[in-house]
Amino acid sequence: MNRFFVLIISLSLSLSFASPKILGYFPYWAQYSQFTAESIRYPLVTHIHYNYVQPEESGEVVLVDASDEDNLKTLADSCTANNVKLVLSLGGMEAQSALAENSEDEEKATAFAENIHEFVNDYKAHGVEVYWDIEDEEDAQLLSNLLAALVSKLKPESKIVSLALFANADVYAHLEAELLNQLDYITVIAISDMDDSQETLRPNSSGTKIASLAQKLIDQGVQSSKIIPVVPFYGYSFANATGLGSEFDGYGSGNEGYLTYNELMDRFNGTDYKVTYDEVTQSEIAVSSWESIVFNGIPSVKAVAENAKNKSLGGVGAYDLSNDARHPIVSLLVTIGKVLRPEVDYKNIK
């Protein structure tokens, strides 16, 4: 056989069997619940996204919380020691206007990319994720300016350039697949989909919805291996709801309804809640006499991971690492890993 064709076949096989990514978001505010860089179970992840770092109107990049700087430096050293990629997640809800301001045209985007590159190097990170919930075609053009500049600046140094896309699928079509395919990967974030502004109860995050968003990108021409669906490690409670589709009276227990997955595992040890898995939406719901909690548990997270495997997606992401239960039997990270990286010995990971 011609050596050229042997090389092409070998390259194709290596790409098709590339190891899936398991990435976890590590928020700066985790420090306030005593979850620090030392708390992370590094063997369970391949990538960690530190969220967030914040752009200024001037084009500079800064830490959202300067008190977390030592923790970030420890995180960078720990990632290097454990062969985990550290990616800085740039943006967040308060950063929309600054992102837009610095991406108005090619010149501004290029200068902004220079500052991002410098910040990535200063904190020994492996790359950056643009975490920008764009709303329309104009936003998409600004985002495209920034992505092109980042690809030009970071990719020659083998730095990671990634993008977070959210549940507003209408904006996907305004982004060119050719540009998206130059990125290392795209996280699909359809989380916190239920709040007290809704009329009836629906899932906080639906595995079937996540799958449909991923498929929309594939249909648009984005390589499946570039797409990483993200699942939330938390849920929301709603007072007097009796199940999916029912009415409710505002938030229930928790911090404005917010309950972490590890909190839920402790709570469900009692007999007050009936927990069920809804196969149609691929999500969980727990119903008690006075509230319902919509969340993602082992069945729905496993369904997302299995879809990622079956569709040859790039992996699965977790939001956020501090919320997982640590026991392997109920850990959502372990659930993902058993599907995507079954060769890992999960029993001996503390």
Query: What are the pLDDT digits (tens) for 200-214?
Result: 999 999 999 999 999
Copy the structure tokens of residue 73. 């430096």
In a 13 Å sphere around the CA of 97, the CA atoms on its Cβ side amount to 3
C-beta of residue 272 within 8 angstroms of C-beta of residue 290 = no
Q: What is the pLDDT of residues 20-54, one digit of tens each?
A: 999 999 999 999 999 999 999 999 999 999 999 99
Please name the fold of domain 19-233+296-348.
Answer: TIM Barrel (3.20.20)
Indicate the domain borders of the chain. 19-233+296-348
The three-state secondary structure class of 134 is: coil
Contact 111, 144 (CB under 8 A): no
What SS3 class is residue 297? coil
Alpha helices in the chain (DSSP H): 3-16, 69-81, 96-101, 106-122, 137-154, 177-180, 207-220, 261-267, 298-310, 332-340
Q: Computed over its alpha carbons, how large is the radius of gyration of the chain?
A: 20
Cα dihedral sign for 136, 138, 140, 143?
A: negative
The answer to whether residue 112 scores a pLDDT higher than 70 is yes
Q: What is the mean pLDDT of residues 338-343?
A: 96
pLDDT value at position 269?
86
Determine what percent of the chain is predicted with pLDDT higher than 90.
91
Predicted confidence (pLDDT) at residue 318 exceeds the cutoff of 90: yes
Cα 104 from chain centroid (whole Å)? 26
User: Residue 83 has which token pair?
Assistant: 């062969």
Closest CA to 247 of 278, 291, 297, 288: 291
**Digit-coded pLDDT (tens) for 76-102:** 999 999 999 999 999 987 899 999 999
Q: Which band of pLDDT confidence, cut at 50, 70 and 90, is reported for residue 7?
A: very low
Q: How confident is the model at residue 17 (pLDDT cuts 50, 70, 90)?
A: very low
Average pLDDT over residues 121-144: 97
| Average of per-residue pLDDT values in the chain | 94
Residue type, 214: A
Question: Taking 80 as the threshold, does the pLDDT of residue 263 lie above it?
Answer: yes
